[in-house]
Amino acid sequence: MTLDRFYPIFDSADWLDRLVPLGIKLVQLRIKDVTVDVARAHIRRAKETCAVHGCTLVINDHWQAAIDEGCDYIHLGQEDLDDADISAIRMAGLRLGVSTHDKTELARAMDLSPDYIALGPVYPTILKKMKWHEQGVARLTTWRDLIGDTPLVAIGGMSVARAEGAFDAGADVVAAVTDITLHASPEERVRAWLAATR
């Protein structure tokens, strides 16, 4: 399965309902600090929207709900890996993406034979407080050499203008969050991303 080069990440099904119809083909639903029932409701809506528009939906963290709701893809951060039942995820046939920040985490992730590896933050990010400083695009090239054919996702401070540099450095996919959600016109920004990555 080839992943689309543009990978926006949203924190509610509302965003997916609004922006997936513009032509997004790969999207992550990353909902934090909600009850399981609320998460499930968003996952159900997101799944319906993505099915209608032929978009691959990746669920962040909520692996049990993703299994229960018949989703295809899960993304786990390093801390999520501590609690996730990887064998249950694999038994359910879910594909798996994993976040990495250093070589120790990368080795741990690669042991799971993931369907993609994410490296971040490539640039400084305002999204969340992280102990990791910006990795820089050169780190993408290092990761590219280390992971072989496994798809590589660049995340963290990414913008339309920075996408080309990430691709040139070895990323297969570029993820974006606040570059879209904080833009004056998220729709316009998504169209610019699609134009830059297709």
Between CA 77 and CA 109, with CA 158 as vertex, the angle to 5 degrees is 25
Q: What is the DSSP letter of 5?
A: S
Assess whether pLDDT exceeds 70 at residue 121.
yes
Amino acid symbol at 132: W
With bands split at pLDDT 50, 70 and 90, how would you rate the model's confidence at 111?
Answer: very high
Enter the tokens of residue 23: 């032509």
Assess whether pLDDT exceeds 90 at residue 167.
yes
Beta carbons within 10 angstroms of residue 179's beta carbon: 22
With bands split at pLDDT 50, 70 and 90, how would you rate the model's confidence at 149?
Answer: very high
Assess whether pLDDT exceeds 80 at residue 105.
yes
CATH architecture for segment(s) 6-197 = Alpha-Beta Barrel (3.20)
Peptide bond into 121 cis (omega under 30): yes
- pLDDT for 48: 98
- pLDDT for 159: 96
With bands split at pLDDT 50, 70 and 90, how would you rate the model's confidence at 134?
Answer: confident
Average pLDDT over residues 82-111: 97
- pLDDT for 65: 97
Q: How far apart are CA 78 and CA 27, in angstroms?
A: 20
On whether the pTM is more than 0.85, the answer is yes
With bands split at pLDDT 50, 70 and 90, how would you rate the model's confidence at 172?
Answer: very high
Average pLDDT over residues 134-161: 96
Assess whether pLDDT exceeds 80 at residue 156.
yes
